[in-house]
Structure 1
Amino acid sequence: MNLRRLSAIVAKELRQLRRDRLTFAMIVGIPLLQLVLFGYAINMDVRGIDAAVLDQANTARSREVVAEIGSSQVLNLRYRLSTPQQMDALLRQGKIGAALVIPSDFEARLERGAGPSQGRLPQGRLAQDRLPLQLVVDGSDQSVQASARQLANYPLPGWAHQQGVELVNFYNPERLAAVNTVPGLIGVILTMTMVLFTAIALVRERERGNMEMLITTPLSPWELTLGKVLPFVGIGLLQVTVILITGSLLFEVPIRGSLLELYGASLLFIVASLALGVFISTLAQTQFQAMQIAFFTFLPQILLSGFMFPFAGMPQAAQWIAELLPLTHFLRLARGIMLRSAGVLELWPEMLALLVFTALMLGVAVTRVTKRLD
């Protein structure tokens, strides 16, 4: 081995890397992004879960309990309800993750001072012997379930037993992990494939010189961009079908809402992901750069969307960033439709967010395509 020739090759590669500013930025940017996300934004200790209170007793003692549970900071008691129907609607729409229910006979239950130790009625016990409080939890989010269990042993004034709060899991009473994971996997898989496929495909056309030939035709920038993107829509819908069938057969994941609305939400998310891929293709010069930028967009979406880590546990700044990401809104749509039987009209803020993201990304991408190929 000739060290002089070897050092010449190393020097050449370093000079080429210095000229490739995008690759150099990724070398520094990806570790910094991971460090910031895992060290600052990711927090498994969930606090401030949006919740509601249904105080049917409305006594001084019940109000005292509500104030004490609110001070624990596990729940953010944003809503005061008057009927169980209001609670059902907020849970179904995903506006709250839990609801604290205080029954009308709350005082009588405390005075009896006896209840089942595990929050369930043993055989032969009467309904009036149930625990003084009930915490209804959105079971479609496992992080909410885990945090709500912290309140199961909350000490109640005048209650002699260890457990005074009965936990009720809506939408996933068996606490199956797959029920929570599979709807999220639809968005994660679509994010990885749609963004990457589109970005690489468009950059490949530019590298081969085909894009310059297409621009000489009467095609407008919008027609050219949409024509390159639309074939991937069918691929995305096929992936959704495969995931739904596999999730149903292997993990018995239910689809409680409208299948048509689920496909409609998936279609909108596919278009949003493709729009992001088109935008990435306007930034990259090579297919390798397109892969780098696509990977750079995967990290914040997967880590901040609520798929891997609890959304409520993130700092406010991280939540604001997450609201700008399409995967965050699609996860809410998929879990809402599949697990909570919510309709797209009830989840209209998430649909609107995806529409705005798609319009912005496509608008900017088309503008940049025009500038690059004029």
Structure 2
Amino acid sequence: MKKNKVPFNFQRFIAIIKKEFIQIRRDPFSMRAPIGMTIMMMVLFGYAVNTEVDHIATAVFDQSKTQQSREYIDKFESTQYFVTKYSVSSEDELTALLDSGRVKAGIMIPADFATDLKQNKSAQPLLVIDGTDPTLARTALNSGVLISNHYSVDLREKFLNAKGMTDMKAPGVELNTKVWYNPNMDNNKFTIPGLVGLILQNITVMLTAFAMVREKERGTIEQLIVTPIKSTELILAKLIPYIMIGYGAFLLALGICRWWFKVQILGNVFLLLLLGALFVICALAIGMLISTFARNQSQAMQLTMIIILPSVLLSGFVFPLEAVPVWIRPISFLIPLSYFMQIDRGIILKGIEMNYLWQDTLALVVFLTIILTTAIKRFKKSLD
């Protein structure tokens, strides 16, 4: 005999929201943890985190297209520091790649590169660097200048040996450099915006991961079993109070980022607030999904750590994704925080708009839909 489907009831939905607010008010941890953990982690991580990198995704704009320019590019490609990902045909293409974060450095070789060398002049290519990650930028700057100097010395030695000359009047290369987005390569400007997303995820996932488990351990789940409440009503109603708490933590972290650490938001603040709300809901949905698997708080904590630890290492917070080994890199695409890192740092440090962020935004929407749907389907009004 088929059971009659119970329609969505808005009155029941509001009642569950009120009940959840009352439960949060009775649980001091739920009120104090977001504020305390946000301040503590922002300060500790903000001063303690350092990063290192050894591979840099690079785009090349070769206007010379000569044997000399190809040899010069080969010097960069033969090192462990630069990996050529794109060859572009205009400065606008190179700029777009840097804005989108697909490359972290760009080599621009002028059209008269080979001509200058043949005329015993110093050619002047340009190395453009994404300065949002100061450690990466310093590595690119130092190694780029070093590689170029070595090439220049080799070029002069070959020229002098061929001419039988002993003076240093010979062609060479003078590499010009520009650091975009973070010219002073301030480490805080890279770390602090990333912390906003990392701390936001950790706090919100932990809060909702214990939501359903708390119902089971306190026995209040039994009261829900005998009601006609639907899974959709229960899950969404439980999320709403935590959305408000999580978004409050996001605003607090953003405020510390701006006024404590003096990191200016170069992009659209309202876009950041909107996409931040999307990530808050996505992170809360992850915690709610965990709570449908866990039978007790110990299990919930273990599952939460399984989510949190990989996201610290593989989201781009510590290591640039380009430096992550190829066989591990696909895991980062399964972590919602990876996409919010691009959004967060893109708006704060680069000032980019939605036309560069729509793919990351779409990924968050897809993750939210899948995770929330799975959590609703997994919930069963039973003690099993």
Task: Give the TM-score range, shorter chain.
Answer: 0.7 to 0.9
Matched, 1:141 2:148: no
Which position in structure 2 is the counterpart of 1:172? Answer: 182
Which position in structure 2 is the counterpart of 1:151? Answer: 144
Candidates 54, 73, 78, aligned match of 1:71: 78
Change (3 A) 1:354 1:372: farther
1:161 positional shift? 9.8
Other structure's SS at 2:334 match: coil
Candidates 328, 342, 357, aligned match of 2:338: 328
Which position in structure 1 is the counterpart of 2:46? Answer: none
Change (3 A) 1:371 1:164: farther
Matched, 1:297 2:307: yes
Matched, 1:209 2:219: yes
Query: Retained in 2: the 8 A contact 1:152–1:163?
Result: no
Query: Retained in 1: the 8 A contact 2:61–2:88?
Result: yes
Query: Retained in 1: the 8 A contact 2:54–2:80?
Result: no
1:229 positional shift? 0.8
Aligned residue pair count: 316
Alignment of 1:187-336 (within 5 A): 187-336=197-346
Change (3 A) 1:58 1:275: same
Give the Cα separation in 1 of the matches to 2:119 and 2:225.
81
Give the Cα separation in 2 of the matches to 1:219 and 1:373.
15
Candidates 40, 46, 60, aligned match of 2:54: 46
| Counterpart residue identity of residue 217, structure 1 | T
Which position in structure 2 is the counterpart of 1:10? Answer: none
Query: Retained in 1: the 8 A contact 2:117–2:171?
Result: no
Give the Cα separation in 2 of the matches to 1:52 and 1:135.
10
| Counterpart residue identity of residue 46, structure 1 | D
Change (3 A) 1:292 1:107: same
Q: Which stretch of structure 1 is more off in the superposition, 228-237 or 170-179? A: 228-237
Q: Which stretch of structure 1 is more off in the superposition, 156-165 or 297-306? A: 156-165
Change (3 A) 1:146 1:372: farther
Instruction: Give a deviation string over 1:103-122, Cα, whole Å, max 9, x none.
Output: 2332355467687xxxxxxx
Query: Retained in 2: the 8 A contact 1:233–1:271?
Result: yes
| Counterpart residue identity of residue 125, structure 2 | L
TM-score of the superposed pair, with normalisation by structure 2: 0.76
TM-score of the superposed pair, with normalisation by structure 1: 0.78
Candidates 88, 93, 102, aligned match of 1:81: 88
Give the Cα separation in 1 of the matches to 2:223 and 2:377.
18
Give the Cα separation in 2 of the matches to 1:234 and 1:282.
21
Change (3 A) 1:45 1:187: closer
Q: Give the root-mean-square deviation of aligned CA atoms.
A: 2.4
Give the Cα separation in 2 of the matches to 1:111 and 1:234.
67
| Counterpart residue identity of residue 62, structure 1 | S
Other structure's SS at 2:215 match: helix
1:371 positional shift? 6.5
1:309 positional shift? 2.3
Change (3 A) 1:73 1:270: same
Change (3 A) 1:145 1:217: same
| Counterpart residue identity of residue 146, structure 1 | R
Query: Retained in 2: the 8 A contact 1:202–1:278?
Result: yes
Query: Retained in 2: the 8 A contact 1:99–1:135?
Result: yes
Which position in structure 1 is the counterpart of 2:110? Answer: 103
Which position in structure 2 is the counterpart of 1:6? Answer: none
Other structure's SS at 2:191 match: helix
1:138 positional shift? 1.0
Give the Cα separation in 2 of the matches to 1:162 and 1:201.
66
Change (3 A) 1:113 1:73: farther
Instruction: Give a deviation string over 1:299-329, Cα, whole Å, max 9, x none.
Output: 1000111212232221112111111011111
Unmatched 5+ residue regions in structure 1? 1-42, 116-130
Query: Retained in 1: the 8 A contact 2:134–2:185?
Result: yes
Give the Cα separation in 2 of the matches to 1:162 and 1:307.
39
Which position in structure 2 is the counterpart of 1:347? Answer: 357
Query: Retained in 1: the 8 A contact 2:125–2:174?
Result: yes
Instruction: Give a deviation string over 1:27-67, Cα, whole Å, max 9, x none.
Output: xxxxxxxxxxxxxxxx95522x3221111223321122123
1:75 positional shift? 2.4
Instruction: Give a deviation string over 1:118-172, Cα, whole Å, max 9, x none.
Output: xxxxxxxxxxxxx722111111123431331312111225357998433311100
Give the Cα separation in 2 of the matches to 1:368 and 1:137.
47
Query: Retained in 1: the 8 A contact 2:224–2:381?
Result: no
1:186 positional shift? 0.9
Other structure's SS at 1:346 match: helix
Give the Cα separation in 2 of the matches to 1:110 and 1:310.
36
Candidates 89, 113, 124, aligned match of 1:132: 124
Percent identity at matched positions?
36
Other structure's SS at 1:87 match: helix
